[in-house]
Chain A
Amino acid sequence: GQSLEQPSEVTAVEGAIVQINCTYQTSGFYGLSWYQQHDGGAPTFLSYNGLDGLEETGRFSSFLSRSDSYGYLLLQELQMKDSASYFCAYVGGATNKLIFGTGTLLAVQP
């Protein structure tokens, strides 16, 4: 079958580093994406890993290991505005469209 697993909730303090893990199971896989969604807002694209390794974009980094069917999103120097839900997603399905995980609710505390 096809699935993505993420922790449901993560709590961290301002200035800290947090890692949100994602494991996936699928018969066809091209790459792993990450999206951020603030409460009541639109999901916004953060990053995409098409190849194994680390992709860095400012305070956010994303990692992929195809051999382990595993990826993570790393958020550094946490700010209060980073409190949101974070979704991993992969391109899959009958016509290679985005399939999402259940999301991780990140709460950043002062």
Chain B
Amino acid sequence: ETGVTQTPRHLVMGMTNKKSLKCEQHLGHNAMYWYKQSAKKPLELMFVYSLEERVENNSVPSRFSPECPNSSHLFLHLHTLQPEDSALYLCASSQEGLRQGANFPADYGYTFGSGTRLTVV
């Protein structure tokens, strides 16, 4: 276990269904993220929450709706998805801050969950 838990691991849903993906982190991090991973494509950043406030939304269609009720939990609500939305959805967390002695942000290392494999039929 990485300290970031995602449920469910696998999900098959019809285009008219509504479902939610859940992510929980036990690392005390203050930022959480949703990424989409499709075959042969880079991980795509979807949403960023920092201190429970959404700070980035990368032009994601409105059929994806994130929710961050507290710093440990992150949800991705799904409705009326399309077959091309089938992918691995990864949640990650990190501790935002400045590397000591520098004045620029640094990558302390994102911790990822194992993802939810979503199939839209």
Q: Which A positions have Cβ atoms within 8 angstroms of B?
A: 4, 30-31, 33, 35, 40-45, 48, 50, 87, 89, 91, 93-103
Contact = CB atoms under 8 A, between A and B. Distances in A.
Contact of B114 (A41, A50, A89): A41
Given A31-B107, A44-B112, A93 B40 contact: no
Given A41-B114, A97-B48, A50 B99 contact: yes
B2 A42 contact: yes
A30 B56 contact: no
**A-B pairs with lowest CB-CB distance, top 5:** A45-B109, A100-B43, A42-B112, A33-B107, A42-B114
A4 B109 contact: no
Nearest to B102: A50
A35 to B, nearest CB: 8
Prevailing SS type, chain B contact patch: loop
B42 A48 contact: no
Contact of B43 (A87, A91, A94, A95): A87
A8 to B, nearest CB: 8
Contacts of B109: 33, 45, 48
Given A42-B112, A43-B90, A98 B106 contact: no
Interface centre among A42, A102, A103 (most CB of B within 10 A): A42
A55 B21 CA distance: 37
B27 interface: no
A91 B106 CA distance: 7
Contacts of B68: none
A95 B48 contact: yes
B88 to A, nearest CB: 9
